Structure 1
């Protein structure tokens, strides 16, 4: 599958994903301002080239909580894989592994976490919407650890559900199948730090929280023993008129001070976007919608193609910016 621009994939995927599925995957909350702003905000950050460095090769490898990656781009959790392609999360996980990176699957995945783990040898994290029933929550966490998942990602911004209007405008509601439950378990909406501690104690795996948008919450996450944070506004799906992730990243990075890794998602469509996020303090970025569009168009090879295209664009950007490795990308490379 030839990719010229990752943005082109959305229109192409719309032709092959059923209307209900595409509406869910591409949907946004409210009027869609936050979803659009996630991408638009990158345009207000520009890159300052640095030439005559004498540098030759570039090193794009990264390390994230002990996992060695070929690129600082991971696959974020998102629903709807099964609506995009028959292989569902198994195809996405395989594509991520072939690209040399990490895949995050979720508690509401189409396939079971065990099926996904068996489909790919690459590193994987398990995202959880914490069930209100502690027994069912513990069971999920124990299964994830037994299946070989290396970390747990707790989504914290699902407290009020979503306010997506796309489904209502198209007069449908999506009920996603789940491979991890024989019957649906109510989600705990009133999350607190005691829930983070519960997960930490239940698995002894690294625990990250996803949905951080403030420096204050980021700093507290460090103090509470979180292994990492994911700066995320849920792709603009849960609540409109919240800030674009790239705009809050610098203050969050300052508050964290390098003590734990920061992953940022939202609006990543080019390698230049990856570069800007790394320069503003992220250790890695996470992508979701472009990967699912790649899955819809080419199965696991489409996923691999999206990731490798972003990697190639990042490498070109690094050469122009005079950065030989990921660690050399800094705010000095930007004009903000």
Structure 2
């Protein structure tokens, strides 16, 4: 029996990581002009071997160095220092119209920017002398356990970013046991996504203006074991996506084959609508939904119902009254309306209205692990990302998505340790100072 077999699987993994860190450290030293001969290197090897692994992990970071030159745009997922590094790589990889679709907000993109910028108005309080070497980042949601509170929000038409579309995303999320929500108008089938993820994902729902189509979508979700429908309620008034329009002008490709007029053509490549009669559908988004529709949907299925797009405490209270199972604070990544209301800014108001009776999810503008921490501190159960994982998908496929998740999780775990929070329940409103003005009203 080898020495490694004496340890548990978790201990073995940690030991291998420690050994790998030592090897990398020695490899770095071997290339250094400070080490002039083999005798010196051998002595250092003995010294490094005697250093406790935890101490080495803490001190080694400052000695990390790129092994090759990296330009302005990263060429592999390993080159990324943060998730924002993936955006220029995605822009380089995509046709201008496709990147424009991913990048755009509405009007002047001010709400899009507010989503992220408002995170800088929240400060984190730290506590010292707490042993946080072992932390638990698992999220419990509707009876399921996920490895992280970071989940993948629904983004439509991911085939515009990569040939494997949502299947590549599902593989990356499933490998890390992270939660994922599939868009009604995704390019991969629910069946394929569930298989790639390893467990049923949630389905974001655009119900259309034909109730028979809505019923067919519900049936398809139920037959595939979907635990929850996420009804999007923020696309009722149309939108002015100026950034998309500007970048589309730079794209001289013929797009009629993919973007012909009429609803049937619009969803012809969307698997959720396969074998469903859509001849009576006139609109996917502006369907005139009301609270009565939410009640009707609630009564039509045993799946859990979340409302995505709630941005006020008043609407959250109404959602409770009609019996929904959860709230999703979202403004469609700043592409629903130019309200200048960030999702993190309104989150406390919604959480207060809900009063802990149902879970509250949030997305919009999350770019750092510290952003995740701040959202959890203000009451979110889970924190979604959209553009970042699509940047990774567009640039590098599944490895790019995995790298984005790795970076955000690493940053999140780092701030948890720095703060002294060893589990999600220890991240509370007292963990932050919220300077967003309209959050205090």
Query: TM class, shorter-chain normalised?
Result: over 0.9
* 1:278–1:329 Cα contact (<8 Å) kept: yes
Give secondary structure in 2 for the equivalent of 1:31.
Answer: coil
Give 1:187-336 correspondences, 5 Å limit. Answer: 187=284, 189-336=287-434
Distance 1:47 1:134 in 2: 47
Does residue 179 in structure 1 map to residue 271 in structure 2? yes
Q: CA deviation at 1:210?
A: 0.1
Aligned to 1:118: 195
The verdict on how the C-alpha distance between 1:56 and 1:111 changes in structure 2, with shifts beyond 3 A counting, is: closer
Which stretch shifts more, 73-82 or 172-181? 172-181
TM-score (norm 2): 0.73
Aligned to 2:263: none
Aligned to 1:19: 96
| Aligned partner (choices 214, 221, 233) of residue 156 of structure 1 | 233
* 1:21–1:83 Cα contact (<8 Å) kept: yes
Give secondary structure in 1 for the equivalent of 2:134.
Answer: coil
Give secondary structure in 2 for the equivalent of 1:236.
Answer: coil
Give secondary structure in 2 for the equivalent of 1:180.
Answer: helix
TM-score (norm 1): 0.95
**5+ residue gaps, structure 1:** none
* 2:97–2:248 Cα contact (<8 Å) kept: no
| Aligned partner (choices 80, 101, 106) of residue 157 of structure 2 | 80
Q: CA deviation at 1:261?
A: 0.5
Give secondary structure in 2 for the equivalent of 1:7.
Answer: helix
The verdict on how the C-alpha distance between 1:310 and 1:74 changes in structure 2, with shifts beyond 3 A counting, is: same
Give secondary structure in 2 for the equivalent of 1:152.
Answer: strand
Q: How many residues align?
A: 336
Structure ID, larger Rg: 2
Q: CA deviation at 1:122?
A: 3.2
**Cα RMSD (Å) of the superposition?**
1.7
* 2:203–2:229 Cα contact (<8 Å) kept: yes
* 2:105–2:242 Cα contact (<8 Å) kept: yes
* 2:373–2:415 Cα contact (<8 Å) kept: yes
Give secondary structure in 1 for the equivalent of 2:327.
Answer: strand
* 1:105–1:113 Cα contact (<8 Å) kept: yes
Per-residue deviation, residues 72-112 of structure 1 (Å, max 9, x unmatched)? 01100111310111100111111111121111111111122
Which stretch shifts more, 133-142 or 103-112? 103-112
* 2:103–2:244 Cα contact (<8 Å) kept: no
Q: CA deviation at 1:171?
A: 4.3
Runs of 4+ displaced beyond 4 Å: 171-174
Which stretch shifts more, 113-122 or 317-326? 113-122
Which stretch shifts more, 206-215 or 8-17? 8-17
* 1:93–1:122 Cα contact (<8 Å) kept: no
**5+ residue gaps, structure 2:** 1-76, 250-254, 260-265, 435-441
Which stretch shifts more, 106-115 or 206-215? 106-115
